[in-house]
Each structure stands twice: as C-alpha cells, then as structure tokens.
A and B are shown apart, each in its own frame.
Chain A
C-alpha cells in the first residue's frame, strides 16, 4: 500500500475543500439521523408519553414488552411472516431465474415483465390485491363452487397469508434479478465438463450452480429478511393490522401505538429491539459473506 502514489499518501496537508465536501454533510447526518437514534434509545429508558413530564424507569419498558400480549403477537406475526416470505420468495425467485437464464425464447421480454412489479409502489399493489381478495376471488369461488375462495381471506384468521401472497408477488422481481446475475456469471464450460463426467441436472445444480451463486444467495437472504422484518406498506393498504391484531407487524405497532397511542416510550424500546435484530442480521451477513468470499478466492 505505502508509497503507491503521491496523491494519496504523500502530502500531509489535506485541502480545506475536502473538509467542506464532508464535514457539513456529516454534521447534518448527525443531527437528523444519529441524534434521533440516540434520543430513541434514551426515551426507551423513560416513561415519556410524547408530551409532559417524564422519569427514568430503567428497563421497565423492555420488561413490559415481554409481558404485553400485543407486542408479543406483533413479534410472532412479523417473524412468521419474515420466515415464510423469505423462503417462498427465494425458492420461487431461484426457479424463475433458472428458467429465465436457460435457452428460452422472448428472453428479454420475459425478463422485463418479471422485473416490472418492483417498479410499482407497494401501497397501490396492496390496494389492487385488496380487490382481488375481496371481490375477484370470491366471485370466482362462487362461479366454480369452490367454497374456500368465497370469503375474503383478509377478513379471516388466515389474513396473513393474503399479505404473504402480495409480498411474494412483488418481492420476486428483485430476488430473481439478483439470482439471474449470479447464474449468468457461471461459465457454461463448467456444465459441459460436468456433463462429460456424467453428472445429472440435479447434481449439476447442487455441485456447480449453487456453490457459485452462494454470494448472491446470501445477499438475497439478508435483504429479504431485513425488508420483511420491516413490513409496513402492504399491511396498511390491506388490513391495517387486522382482523383483531393478527397482522399487526412490529413496524405497524410502532406507528399506531407510538404516534396515535400513548406508548411513545414503550414503542421506543420496541424500536431499539427491532434495531438490535436487524443489526444482528447484518453482522451475520458480513461474517458469512466474508468467509464465503475468502473460500472462493483461495
């Protein structure tokens, strides 16, 4: 590294211009991002209602989180949703990506269509699916005498499956794109060599394709888990957290109870726990990704 060039390592004095390029932005970032974050952590140890007096209450808010049924159910729903959405989206996206990168006709058109849902606002997609679940499918169910379709799934205890379907419909676009870029980086010669050795399609996938696209798999997995733990828009569009609180996610709860309810401090604690979970997922990614890339490079 040392002495590679004068510009980077030579002169000791850094021009004022470079400080002007960074310091004001860093100060603004600190004021509008870091301070709110620190204040949130601070409030989580108080009993502040969003107005009036407050006192330190230590870890009481965190203790309350574990005993409160609403918060427990929000965590239950969010984890269940995130796990199912991550699995379904990644399995289906990988299948679509395998299809789209194989020898097919209209390849570019099909790619463009499969990526299209990514462009659409999740809120509007949720509204459109509201109609599909509430009107189109029940009408279809009545016409075909399929009783399971005749009720709006969003009004039942299976409402979370409706949210899951919308999420899969939209989430596939992005994950498919990432898998495709991974699959296209695999050299065709490897498959030819494997075929000569008599490897079947299944063996080729597990022994060649999957190990080579593993970094893309990790990216998808982590971005999926992180995104689905934050799930908000589609729930606000479709169920507002209901029926009851069966589809109230952690983010929806922070929004409804933190802004409209009087649980400012409790929901601050909730946000801190959500942060710790997301940070944990990120750190896990960094470790796994780095290890894997080391293995591939060596």
Chain B
C-alpha cells in the first residue's frame, strides 16, 4: 500500500462536500472529551503555574493574582537555560548527523543490495536490530560507555545517531527504492563522482523523508528520559527531562514552582506543535505506517 496515498488523504483539508450536513452529536461528544480530558489537564497545569501557594483551594479557578515570579524562580532553581542548552545541543546535532549519515548508509545499502551480498547482509543486520529495545542493552551499555568516558552529552548525542539507524535505514530505504535510477545514471554520464551524485542529486530528493526522520529524532531525544537517566553522571550535563526528575524532590509541596517548571519544559514543544502541526502529524504517520 502506498504511503503517499494515505498521507495525502489525511492531510487533505476537510472534505467540503461532506461537511454540508455535519453530525452535531458526534462533534459535541468529541469536543467535550477534548476540552475536559485533554485541554483541561493543560489548563490546570497553566493555572497552578500562575497561582501563589495561598491560592490553591480551587486549582481550576482563575488565579486571584498572576504570580509570574513562579516562572523566574523555576527558571533559576532548575538551571533552565543550561538544561535547555544541553537538550538543544543533543537534539540539534543528533538531527543533523542522523540525516547525513543514516541517509547515506541507507542509500548505499538500498542501491547495492541486489548486486552485493555484503550490502544485503548489512540491510538485514540493521533491520534485525529493531528487535532489540534500549531497555534490553542498557545494563552492559552503561558499563561500556563509562569505560570510554562517553557518559556525557557528547556521548549521548553519538549514541542517538547510532541507535536511530535501524528505523531510519528502514525508512530511507523504502524511499530510495522509489527514486528512479535513471537520475543517477544521467549524473554519472555527466562525470559526477558517486559522492557528488549522492549529495547533489539524491540527498535533496530525499527531503520529505529527511523531514520525517528529523521529526521522529526530535521527539525521541527531546522527550527521552531513560537514556539520560542511566548514562549522564555530571549534573551540569543533565537534559530537561532528567532535571525535572531530579528536582521533583526539591519542589516537594510547592506545586506552583513545580508546575511552572513543567510549563517551561512543555512550552518549546507546544510552540513547535502549533506551527508545524501538519508536518509533525504526517511525519509521525509516515514513520509508523512504514516502520
């Protein structure tokens, strides 16, 4: 089944004709659930983040007075700028290097799988590694990584790039298969070297799959908790998620500070979602229906 077809279907703006007689009951039920169950939780989070501790008798009520200082306190207390920089460092470098290295590997493997037993073997090697979740290898991995002195942000970025390969090679490979080989042959005729063919012809054509891989990598690294938890030893190198876990004890009963810091962590993702919602949804969909 063609992925493109599904994606187009989902992304198609609401069917104009069908909307002539909307089903108001279904609309009302879905809207009610959305407002109470999903937006309600976020509304509560925002309200608590904006209240003072003395204003907590009804957490769902509008704050008597907006306590914006909760955010500045949480900002300082959790060392937010540092944690944000760490997380951004890991996420950005992971996305950049994943796209370059994984797409190149997938391209070479896909183009030579039929001709070379070696490349075919590599394909199955990477694909079969999808069977091995991180939780299964984390005990020996942590030993190995600290022996190499890679228990830091740099090492973790490196591991994300490596560990993403099975899924990404699978995704890129499916895409490369659809690119006509004639394009490459024409470039070779014009005297292009193989790396030029890849970077000038193939790499730009892979743009839609780069977007999918970038989105999936972003979601994974930004929200990951387990790998930072088991790998990072230096408190100065913590990510946003790990820092939230570490500071949970220090907030103890000051829910307002705690929730202000949750909002600080959720805000970048929510802002991204508002602007790139369509791309994110189609990226996740391509990634999963393919993967």
Contacts and interface: CB of A to CB of B under 8 A. Distances in A.
- Looking at chain B's contact residues, the main secondary structure is helix
Given A7-B185, A99-B30, A26 B122 contact: yes
Output the residue of A100, A111, A169, A274 with the most chain B CB within 10 A. A111
B19 A103 contact: yes
A34 B128 CA distance: 11
Given A7-B185, A107-B14, A177 B139 contact: no
Contacts, number: 275
Most buried by A among B122, B138, B273: B138
B10 A181 contact: yes
A229 to B, nearest CB: 9
A286 to B, nearest CB: 10
B178 interface: no
Interface residues of B, number: 105
Interface stretch (A15-23, A60-68, A146-154): A15-23
Given A22-B105, A272-B136, A275-B136, A96 B30 contact: yes
B133 A275 contact: yes
Interface of A: 1, 5-9, 14-15, 17-19, 21-22, 25-26, 28-29, 32-37, 39-40, 43, 50, 96, 99-100, 102-108, 110-124, 127-129, 131-132, 135-136, 139, 169, 174, 177-178, 180-182, 184-185, 215-216, 219, 223, 226, 230, 232-233, 236-237, 250-251, 254-255, 258-259, 264, 267-268, 271-272, 274-275, 278-279, 282, 293
Q: Is the interface of A mostly helix, strand, loop or mixed?
A: helix
A40 B5 CA distance: 43
A247 B158 CA distance: 33
A110 B34 contact: yes
Contact of A37 (B23, B37, B125, B132): B132
Interface in B108-158: 108-109, 111-112, 114-116, 119, 122, 125-126, 129-133, 135-145, 158
Contacts of A115: 277, 281
Interface string B205-246: 000000000000001001101100110000000000100110
Contacts of B136: 37, 40, 271-272, 274-275, 278
Nearest to B102: A25
A100 B30 contact: yes
Determine which residue in B10, B30, B102 has the highest number of CB atoms from chain A within 10 A of its CB, and name it: B30
A184 to B, nearest CB: 4
Interface in B54-110: 59-60, 101-102, 104-105, 107-109
Given A34-B129, A39-B144, A123-B245, A184 B135 contact: no
Given A7-B184, A254-B138, A293-B1, 8 more contacts: A29-B125, A32-B158, A40-B137, A104-B26, A105-B24, A127-B244, A169-B37, A182-B6
Contacts of B21: 103
Contact of B34 (A22, A114, A118, A177): A114
Contact of A112 (B111, B125, B130, B277): B277
